[in-house]
A and B are shown apart, each in its own frame.
Chain A
Amino acid sequence: MPEQKVVDPDYLLLEAPRERKFITGAQSMAEAVKRANVDMAIAYPITPQSEVMHLVGDLWAQGYLKDYYRAEEEYGAFSAIAGAARGGVRVFTATSGPGLLRGLEAIASWPGHRIPAVLGVLTRVVNAPLSIQPDNIEISYLLNCGAVVLHAENQQDVFDFTLAAFVIAEQVDVYVPVAVATEGFFVTHAKGYVNLTPEDMKLPPRNPYKAPVPPTDNEIPPARIQRDAPVQKSNFMSYLIHAVWQQEVWASTTRAMKYIYKYLGGPIEVINPDAEVFVVASGCAAAQAREAVRYSQMEGLNVGLVKVKAIRPFPEKEIREVLKNAKGIVIPEHNIVGWLAREVKAAIPNNDRVVGGPRVYGGMTLPTELIMDEIYKILGVKKDRKVLV
């Protein structure tokens, strides 16, 4: 491994020179971990995530990380992540679909423990029936945990979001975990061009004392978030203590927004802000939505894109503003429940403008034609469609 020098996070994320590589999403996530000065990673196999943690294991073998092991299962892995983070080190892990759900109890407790961990979520179908294919329904379960949730469209996003995630998670006024999600296989196992920061530069190490809740390391008085009996009792003080703690966790997630602006250029990306019809999409669906917007331009239709990068905190204000004059809103998704459509519908007035779909799931791809069909319907465009049988 090359000697890595510590550089300022702002420099690394915003100014450092970049080198273009043609790599998979899994490689891209590992390349971000390589530059993030991670102390410890804990792995547990599940397809399609495994590739990421194989590569992170190789980083440990090369000396980039100080500790790494294969845990007994996801609940054990994510609980150990909590223990290591409470001990003051910088941690990373990743999972997929059923693995995320198996470990969800631990993940849901991370924000309350003020664990600034970074979690890769490489999405996959949730059983049953058994399948390993891409489908992002698992993100809907993650939305109420109190973590920051970023959704990456492609290999470049995976790199940028993952590297920024470590910086955002450890901001004193944030200090909750950051999940970086992207679609399994479509992104993790496919190659794309990624502009990488130099291999010989890394983030400064975690300073566990620069924190709203100090580490439990017997070096300073500990945060005793479970010390006081009142929190466990049935009286008004106990309800109040827990209520305040929950409010603080969610306020912390909200405060991540200013860092999402600083490091990721904001929670949304907009193409053609004066459009009549918008396609709102996140993750891989945003790539197909981008294509639909390009087709529409070629056909002379006034269609725009809202790519949602941050699912938590959800950019309600920003989305409401962009969509205020939209005639129709198409929300393509890689899941059956339409969690993004629900979020958008809850954020805007006159939400009957929203077309909740097209939706594909179970591993299907999302043909641009399906998005175009919804755009045509809204604009009253009649198209002949030949069906080949």
Chain B
Amino acid sequence: MGLEYVRITTGFEDYMPKDYVDLVKYGQFGKEYDIQELGTFKELVEEHPMCAGCFMAYFIRIFYASLPKPEDTIVIGTAGCARLQLSQAAVPFIYGNYGDTNAVASGLKRALEIRFPDKVKDVVVVAGDGGLMDIGFGMTMHSWFRREKFTTIMVDNEVYGNTGGQESGMSPKGVQLKMAPKGKKFDKINAVELAKAAGCVYVARIAPTNPKRLAKTIKRAILAARHFGPTFIHAYTSCNIEYSIPTDKVLEDARNREKKDFSFYEWMSDDVKAYFEEIESNKEGKEVKV
């Protein structure tokens, strides 16, 4: 159905907001663009209230531009910076409560499978380090244990940014933050290894320095979740405010972290690997073709 609900009712073309008309005419619905075409098509999210220089805002822009089937995607978020931008995209978005994303997504995905067993309906959680690894930890882990078929993307800014810069479980050891006035006492949680141990079929860690690789990773995570089971992306999306990164040094910072603890890492189960080999082998310029 997807495209049907997006389509403008005949006769209303002249009266719909220009933004919406552009979205339908020149946007991503029913089409798949290469991320390198960014700037040549109408994007799903163009305005946001994020801070100047926010790397998470950039990540979310690439995320929406990479969706394999935006007209049949539902995004779920929770408290934090990400939801400020996620809620303004032209893709249905659900905000529940604190850290409940993976429980809401479990119920939603199962409901959609009951109602539309023969249709593709992608459910994607995009939430922060606090939401997924602190307050929502149990629900995150259990959705993976249960092999729920949706994608979880952790936009890790290593801090509670939206509440004013408190320590999170994903903050690096030693960093001085609010609620950690003497510095964080323990290591960053190893989310990638937890995801693997908990049963995710596709796991990636990425610093978004290379849009092409990032788009490919996001597409793979969503396609693998569609067919096989839970998938997880751990993305470094720095907070330039709380970590005092000058706006023009945000990309440089990401490249530095990439050389240290955020080197690109991708792991997938054998059947997922075989699936990608099959669908990506007959490529014609594009990295991922469905």
Binding site for B on A (CB under 8 A): 39-40, 42, 66-67, 69, 71-73, 75-77, 79-89, 91, 105-106, 109, 113, 216-222, 224, 226-229, 232
Contacts and interface: CB of A to CB of B under 8 A. Distances in A.
A218 B111 contact: no
Instruction: Pick from A77, A217, A226 the residue with the most CB of B within 10 Å.
Output: A217
A80 B95 contact: no
B116 A76 contact: no
A83 B108 contact: yes
B213 interface: no
B49 interface: yes
B165 to A, nearest CB: 19
A39 B114 CA distance: 8
Contact of B142 (A39, A67, A76, A109): A76
Q: Which 6 A-B pairs have the closest CB atoms?
A: A87-B111, A83-B107, A84-B107, A80-B107, A83-B104, A79-B103
Given A72-B142, A226-B83, A86 B97 contact: no
B52 interface: no
Given A106-B100, A109-B96, 4 more contacts: A79-B103, A83-B108, A87-B107, A229-B84
A72 B141 CA distance: 9
Given A40-B114, A79-B107, A218 B97 contact: no
Contacts of A232: 84
18 contacts: A40-B110, A42-B107, A73-B138, A76-B142, A80-B103, A80-B107, A81-B107, A83-B103, A83-B104, A87-B109, A91-B107, A217-B112, A217-B116, A218-B1, A218-B92, A227-B87, A229-B87, A229-B88
Contacts of B138: 72-73, 76
Contacts, number: 130
Contacts of A106: 96-97, 100
Contacts of B4: 219
A109 B87 CA distance: 18
A229 B139 CA distance: 27
A162 B35 CA distance: 52
A75 B139 contact: yes
A75 B104 CA distance: 10
Interface of B: 1-2, 4-5, 49, 71-74, 76, 83-84, 87-88, 92-98, 100, 103-116, 121, 138-139, 141-142, 146
Contacts of B112: 87-88, 217
A215 B11 CA distance: 26
Contacts of B72: 218
A88 B92 contact: no
Chain B's interface: helix, strand, loop or mixed, by majority? helix
A226 B93 contact: yes
A222 B75 CA distance: 12
Nearest to B108: A83
A82 B104 contact: yes
Contact of B96 (A82, A88, A224): A82
Contacts of A109: 96-97
